[in-house]
Amino acid sequence: MGHDKLRKFAENETFSCLLQPSAQEVLARGYFNLQDHAIKGHWNERMFARPAPIVLELGCGKGEYTLDLARRHPERNYIGVDIKGARLWRGAKTATEEGLPNVAFLRTRIEFITAYFAPGEIDEIWLTFSDPQLGSENLRLTSPLFLNRYRSFMRPGGIVHLKTDSRFLHEYTRAVVEANGLVMPACTADLYGDGGISREERPELFEVQTFYEKMFLAQGYKITYLSFCIDHEGDFVYPTDFDAAYWRSVEGPRKFVQVP
Q: What is the CATH number of the domain that holds 12?
A: 3.40.50.150
Position 258 scores a pLDDT of 60
Contacts of 188 (CB under 8 A, 6+ apart): 195, 196, 197, 224, 225, 226
pLDDT at 1: 60
Cα 69 to Cα 78: distance, rounded to the nearest angstrom: 8
Residues 209/128/217/166 CA torsion (nearest 10 deg) = -170
Annotation marks residue 82 as catalytic: no
Which residues does the chain have with pLDDT short of 70? 1, 257-260
| pLDDT of 253 | 84
What pLDDT score was predicted for residue 104? 98
CA 54/CA 52 separation, integer angstroms? 6
Spell out the residues 6+ positions from residue 107 whose beta carbon is closer than 8 angstroms to its own: 12, 18, 19, 20, 21, 81, 82, 83, 84, 85, 88
Residue 177 domain flag: yes
257 lies in some domain: no
pTM (predicted TM-score): 0.94
Q: Is residue 57 part of a domain?
A: yes
Instruction: Report yes or no on 33 lying in a domain.
Output: yes
Instruction: Give how many domains the chain has, as a whole number.
Output: 1
Helix, strand, coil in percent for the chain, rounding step 5: 35, 15, 45
CA dist., res. 88 & res. 36, Å (int) = 22
- Does residue 136 lie within any of the structural domains? yes
In a domain, 260, yes or no: no
Give the range of the structural domain holding residue 166, as residue numbers without chain letter.
3-249
All residues at 6 or more sequence positions from 85 whose CB lies less than 8 Å from its CB, including other chains? 8, 9, 12, 20, 107
Would 256 be classed as within a structural domain? no
Q: Is residue 89 part of a domain?
A: yes
Identify the active-site residue in 36, 68, 82, 131: 131
Residues in the chain: 260
What is residue 127's three-state secondary structure?
A: strand
**Number of C-beta neighbours around residue 197 at 10 A:** 16
